[in-house]
Amino acid sequence: MVFVGDSIGRNHWESMLCMLAEGVASQDKESRIYEINGETISKHTGFLAFRFKDYNLTVEYYREPFLIPQTRPPPHSHPNVTCALIVDTPCWSFSKWIHADILVFNAGHWWTDQKIHNQYVVTTLSHFCSNTPLPPYSLLSLFVYFLELLVFFVPST
């Protein structure tokens, strides 16, 4: 089971861990439920995965606020722009979670107008590399474009 997204997705992941852990017998719980890399569940960025040994279950979390790569802004971007979002490329962790039996996305950052419009340039890899402007777009159309692309990248197994 994999959760991919921002802090809301992280909260969902932690809640799922708590619910599942309640179902495990209290004796020897610490040796039967563990983070696979020995990390703590404290405020951590990137990746965490808890293993429920008796049930052959791993519950993973990948921090990917937009589900796509975020990189430096293109040259000559507005000074308020802090990052570029590349909508035609899957995020770095894509290959690690795409085969999950259960996949939970959280894409709340797409709907935060102030974040998208004030801090980010939304672009495609070809536009980013050539530094040419994209035609007018809506956030919904770009998000749908990304989801369709994601389906394209998903293996047909």
- Of the CA atoms within 13 Å of residue 82, those in its CB half-sphere come to 6
Distance, CA of 157 to CA of 103 (rounded, Å): 15
Based on the number of CB atoms within 10 Å of its own CB, is 9 exposed (0-12), middle (13-18) or buried (19 or more)?
buried
Distance, CA of 63 to CA of 104 (rounded, Å): 12
Question: Which pLDDT does position 157 carry in this prediction?
Answer: 47
Q: Could you tell me the two tokens for 125?
A: 């890899």
Residue 4 near residue 103 (C-beta atoms within 8 A): yes
Going residue by residue through the chain, which has 157 residues, state the pLDDT in tens, using 9 for 90 and above. Answer: 999 988 888 899 999 999 998 888 777 666 788 888 888 777 666 889 999 988 899 999 999 888 888 888 877 777 777 788 777 778 888 888 888 899 898 877 776 666 666 666 666 666 655 555 555 667 777 777 777 777 776 665 4
| Sequence-separated (6 or more) residues with CB below 8 Å from residue 116 | 109, 110, 122, 139
